[in-house]
Amino acid sequence: MLNCIYLLAITAEAMTGALAAGRRKFDMFGVLVIAFVTALGGGTVRDIFLGHFPVAWTQHPAYLYLVLCAGLLTMLIAPYLRHLQTIFLVLDAMGLMAFTLIGCNVALTMEYRVPVVMMAGLATGIVGGILRDVLCNRVPIVFRHEMYASVSLLTAGLFLLLRSAGVDTDLNTAMSFMAGLSLRLTAIWRGWRLPVFALAQRSNAGGKRGALHD
């Protein structure tokens, strides 16, 4: 189950990377780089943080080929697809859930404790998207008051809860994936948002003294 989830995740995230690069009118090389970073960046950062070596994709060149093919395929079919924004969001949600569960599983196999397991899932889920958005000169989705990282954490928590209850791993993975995906898509559809921390801009009419009192 986890292998299938992983293949789904890197394909979906590679396609979101290619779509994001296409919006910025990157050339073919740029599109493939963004697809690669989006699909494999989160897992690479996770493995470095956890000391999980060698990094997973370096031992499986087929993953790299899959990512590049997904990027190229997206370049070919994107002009014929309608509602690209919707496709982007759905693929990104699928990748977020899949990578979260994979990150949790990697940390569990290394016998890390619950907080580290959840952070490993979160990092695997969101880092690739952050790198994609930064390289495409966009504010990352995770920082735009959307229910994104929070959904990743909730999915990781559900996965660990069901695991502690003795639910079969494959069933647990499927249930957690569907629950997290449903929550993320519902949040997009209903416009659910996290509270925003916004500092009001004060007038600087008071000069330097006024600035010191702000």
Tokens standing for 201?
């801009």
For the cut 50, the answer to whether the pLDDT of residue 118 exceeds it is: yes
For the cut 90, the answer to whether the pLDDT of residue 14 exceeds it is: yes
- Least Cα distance to 19 among 133, 168, 104 occurs for 133
* pTM, two decimal places: 0.87
Is omega for the bond preceding 54 within 30 degrees of 0, making it cis? yes
> How confident is the prediction for the chain on average, in pLDDT?
90
Between residues 209 and 141, which one has the greater pLDDT?
141
* Low-confidence winner among 25-29, 146-150, 156-160, 174-178 (lowest mean pLDDT): 146-150
For the cut 90, the answer to whether the pLDDT of residue 2 exceeds it is: no
Task: Calculate the CA dihedral of residues 179, 17, 197, 184 and round it to 10 degrees.
Answer: -10
Write down the pLDDT at residue 146: 82
Tokens standing for 181?
């995906």
Confidence of residue 209 (pLDDT cuts 50, 70, 90): very low
Write down the pLDDT at residue 141: 86
For the cut 80, the answer to whether the pLDDT of residue 214 exceeds it is: no
Tens-digit pLDDT profile for residues 82-102: 888 888 999 999 999 999 999
Write down the pLDDT at residue 1: 75
Tokens standing for 60?
């499986």
DSSP category for residue 80: G
Write down the pLDDT at residue 199: 79
Confidence of residue 75 (pLDDT cuts 50, 70, 90): very high
Percentage of residues in the chain having pLDDT higher than 70: 93
List Cβ neighbours of 63 (8 Å cut-off, separation of 6 or more): 10, 40, 56, 57
Between residues 23 and 197, which one has the greater pLDDT?
23
- CA within 13 Å, CB half, 97: 25
The DSSP string of 161-180 is HHHHTT--HHHHHHHHHHHH
Write down the pLDDT at residue 198: 76
d(CA 172, CA 95): 17
For the cut 70, the answer to whether the pLDDT of residue 18 exceeds it is: yes
- Residue pair 12/111 in contact by the 8 Å Cβ criterion: no
For the cut 60, the answer to whether the pLDDT of residue 208 exceeds it is: no
